[in-house]
Amino acid sequence: MSENLDEPVAELASEVRHRTANTLQLLATLARMRGQKASDLEVRRQMVWMAEAIGALGSLERRRSPAGIDFSGYIEEMAPVWRRRQAGQPVEVLVSVDPLHVRDQAAPTLALILNELVSNALTHGLKGAAVLRIHIGLAAVDGLGRLTVTDSGMGLRADGADGQERFGLWLARSLSSQVRGELALLPAPGGGLMAQLEFQT
């Protein structure tokens, strides 16, 4: 009898996830369209940022399950989206992920952090790079999740002269506390910058 009840409940949950994801994707599309029509460049940039954040949360909804959020699957799904952001530039987005589910409460914050770190790497981290490449990693280490975004650029500027970059990193660091995590900026092997977030799964 319980099995007969479980199936309709699972179908209803799947339908709710699907509708939520579609609604968020619609909002992302509207924000992007509104940004394209804006005459002010800063307004346009902010609307595009909002569209990307909402779209990331929409994609996350498709990865919800009784075990939590399949965050490794989410990263693999988002990789082609991040590649397309560089319109016309041959940027490689490499992904190396271990299977990892995270708590429902933590997953949206992690998705926003990752989106910000990837955007920062694509926009700022690849300046001056001979090869345009970022690498996204996810692993379980000593009971924690470890998320890394590594670029092939010149590394972090010591003077922090780029205000947009400072904001992006500040936002990611601020959100990190919500997942009981710690964000570190480290020299990447072979050059570039690695942003590393260790968090409670």
Element (H, E) at 153: none
Tell me how far apart the alpha carbons of residues 31 and 57 are, in angstroms, rounded to a whole number: 14
Element (H, E) at 182: strand 182-187
Residues 131, 136, 139, 141: what is their CA dihedral angle, to the nearest 10 degrees?
A: 70
> What are the pLDDT digits (tens) for 52-93?
788 888 888 888 888 889 999 999 999 988 888 766 677 889
Could you list the pLDDT tens digit for every one of the 201 residues in the chain?
A: 444 546 665 565 566 666 666 676 776 677 777 777 778 888 777 777 778 788 888 888 888 888 889 999 999 999 988 888 766 677 889 999 999 999 988 999 999 999 999 988 888 877 777 788 899 999 999 889 999 999 988 776 544 444 444 677 888 999 999 999 999 999 988 788 999 999 988
Smallest Cα–Cα separation from 95: which of 73, 126, 122, 65?
73
Q: How many separate helices (H) and strands (E) can be counted in the chain?
A: 5, 8
Q: Any idea what DSSP says for residue 154?
A: S
Collapsing DSSP states into helix, strand and coil, what is residue 159? Answer: coil
CATH superfamily of 68-201: Histidine kinase-like ATPase, C-terminal domain (3.30.565.10)
CB neighbours of residue 185 within 10 Å: 14
Give me the residue spans of the domains in the chain.
Answer: 1-62, 68-201
Q: Strands, E, within 11-168: which ranges?
A: 64-65, 68-70, 92-97, 101-102, 133-141, 144-151
Tell me how far apart the alpha carbons of residues 147 and 162 are, in angstroms, rounded to a whole number: 24
